[in-house]
Amino acid sequence: MEVFIVAESNNEIVGFCRYDDKLVSGNLKGCDCELKALYVKSNLKRQGIGKLLFNYAKNDLKSRGKTKMILWCLKENYPSRIFYEKMGGKLIQEKGIKFGDKTYQEVAFVYNISTLEM
């Protein structure tokens, strides 16, 4: 089941997270769920909003019996990659993804959510 959550501050959406308790990207390294999107407004980054969204998704998936979560990030999105690594992700794979006439590289992070703290 796909879930979409938002973070609000003063009745304004300041971030969101979309995740699925099924693996959408194919069978990778035993993964059984996927974080599909995580966004925080630029001027509000580094204030813990992304961490709260990430942890909410991780804990919800863990409560559903999921054990390994994957997420894909653009390879050149270094700030996000640093965040995903700080959240405990292990870089496992790279692939190309085509948008229009251009191909971009994505990297996959895997999280063993069965052992990450709630």
| The pair of three-digit structure tokens given for residue 30, joined into one six-digit string | 């035993």
In a domain, 61, yes or no: yes
| Alpha helix segments (H runs only) across 1-118 | 49-63, 78-86
How many other CB atoms sit within 10 Å of the CB of residue 115? 9
Confidence of residue 118 (pLDDT cuts 50, 70, 90): very low
Is 117 domain-assigned?
no
Q: Is 118 a member of any domain?
A: no
Q: What is the pLDDT of residues 41-79, one digit of tens each?
A: 999 899 999 999 999 999 999 999 999 999 999 999 999
Instruction: Please tell me the predicted confidence (pLDDT) of residue 54.
Output: 96
| CATH number of the domain to which 107 belongs | 3.40.630.30
Q: What is the pLDDT of residues 1-28, one digit of tens each?
A: 899 999 999 999 999 999 999 876 666 7
Position 13 in a domain: yes
Tokens coding 101 = 């006439």
In a domain, 62, yes or no: yes
Quote the number of domains for the chain.
1
Residue 103, in any domain of the structure: yes
List of residues 6+ apart from 111 with CB closer than 8 A: 58, 68, 69, 70, 71, 87, 88, 89, 90
Q: Which two tokens stand for residue 21?
A: 């308790």
Tell me, yes or no, whether 43 lies in a domain: yes
pTM of this prediction? 0.88
CA distances from 72 to 13, 20, 43, 114 (A): 23, 13, 23, 19
Q: Which domain holds residue 6?
A: 2-112
Residue 22 lies in a domain: yes
